[in-house]
Amino acid sequence: MILAALAILGGFALMIWSADRFIDGAAATAKHAGMPSLLIGMVIVGFGTSAPEMVVSAMAAIDGNPDLALGNALGSNIVNTGLILGITALVAPIAVHSKIVRKELPILLLIGLFAGALFWNGELSRLEAFILLAGFFGLIGWTIFAAIKGRGDALEVETEQELMAHPMPLGRAIMWLCIGLVLLIVSSRILVWGAVTIAQSLGVSDLIIGLTIVALGTSLPELAASVIAARKGEHDIAIGNVVGSNMFNLLAVVGIAGVIAPMPQLSPDVLTRDWPVMMAMTVGLFVMAYGFRGEGRLNRIEGVILLASYIAYNIWLLNSVMAG
């Protein structure tokens, strides 16, 4: 148990550090390749902040723990929306200037409903997982189109400022890209081993461990990125990180895990507890941040509501473990 706990802590620390290096290296490499700043902000950074979830869920599926993989994806969305945006809005209220981020909010809602429809029969087949992956590639296509059409968007301006503030030679960018990716895989391996070992020792389900410890750990890069962005006044990066990551989690993270290890029997809790909570938070975020009468905004009161929802959900999980 002690070794497993150390593996989780060490895995988290290495994952946070390697995810930062991976994102910085990928963004700088893309900039050297001539990729538009808006596309870097939407695809490279969004994909990069979801890289820990993707690698952890893939490792869990390879190891025969698909519930851990699914719990990680759904739990990460709950952490992103409730904990991360809640804390970020408390640090600095978030104004949504970007038209693209406003377009992404209803798309995230639709993706969440689509994923729920696939879960509704109590399983996730390999074909359904491929459908999610096809949706992911469709999302990437839309993102590229939106980035080309959205020149001058607030998100582009903020991303350009970030890239200019942290210039990196091409050689160093490629080095950190490769090192970050390798260490992401290593840290994910360590983390999954520690999480599964503790779950088995305590008699807790892989799903619960995925929804709590693993989801929180893999979402730490988003927390750091969003809080730092909000403090700098880069509001659209702060919320865009979360919205993009949530879309990637549902399509790519669940899709990759399902292709590797289909889930013939989902836990009933997924449909009665976890997916509804995720969707309720997503709807709440949409109502708060969309801005039906002009610019969207997440104020401190709404941040408290999101944070309180996350805490209430975790109390629910704790009660379910105690009752079990």
Residue 118 pLDDT exceeds 90: yes
The percent of residues above 70 in pLDDT, for the chain, comes to 99
Of 11-20, 161-170, 177-186, 253-262, the range with the highest mean pLDDT is: 253-262
> SS3 string of 233-245?
CCHHHHHHHHHHH
Mean pLDDT of 150-167: 81
Q: CA 97, CA 298: separation in Å to the nearest integer?
A: 12
Pairing label, strands 94-96, 296-298? antiparallel
| Residues paired with residue 95 on neighbouring β-strands, in sequence order | 297
- What pLDDT was estimated at residue 324? 66
Confidence tier at 162 by pLDDT (50, 70, 90): confident
- Two tokens, residue 223: 């927390």
- What pLDDT was estimated at residue 323? 80
- Two tokens, residue 104: 């992404």
- What pLDDT was estimated at residue 149? 81
Residue 12 pLDDT exceeds 80: yes
Residue 81 vs residue 13, higher pLDDT: 81
Count, residues in the chain: 324
Residue 132 vs residue 97, higher pLDDT: 132
Mean pLDDT of 232-237: 84
Residue 151 vs residue 261, higher pLDDT: 261
Mean pLDDT of 194-207: 87
Q: What is the pTM of this model?
A: 0.89
Least confident of 10-19, 67-76, 280-289: 10-19
- What is the per-residue pLDDT across 58-73, written as a single tens digit (0 to 9) for each? 999 998 888 999 999 9
Q: CA 154, CA 235: separation in Å to the nearest integer?
A: 9
Residue 304 pLDDT exceeds 90: yes
Residue 294 pLDDT exceeds 80: no
Domains and CATH numbers, the chain: 1-323 (1.20.1420.30)
| Dihedral over alpha carbons 320, 9, 219, 230 (to 10 degrees) | 120
- In this structure, the number of other CB atoms found within 10 A of the CB of residue 257 comes to 31
- What pLDDT was estimated at residue 152? 76
- Two tokens, residue 35: 């990729």
* Mean of all residue pLDDT scores within the chain: 89
Q: CA 26, CA 21: separation in Å to the nearest integer?
A: 8
- What is the per-residue pLDDT across 129-143, written as a single tens digit (0 to 9) for each? 999 999 999 999 988
Residue 220 vs residue 300, higher pLDDT: 300
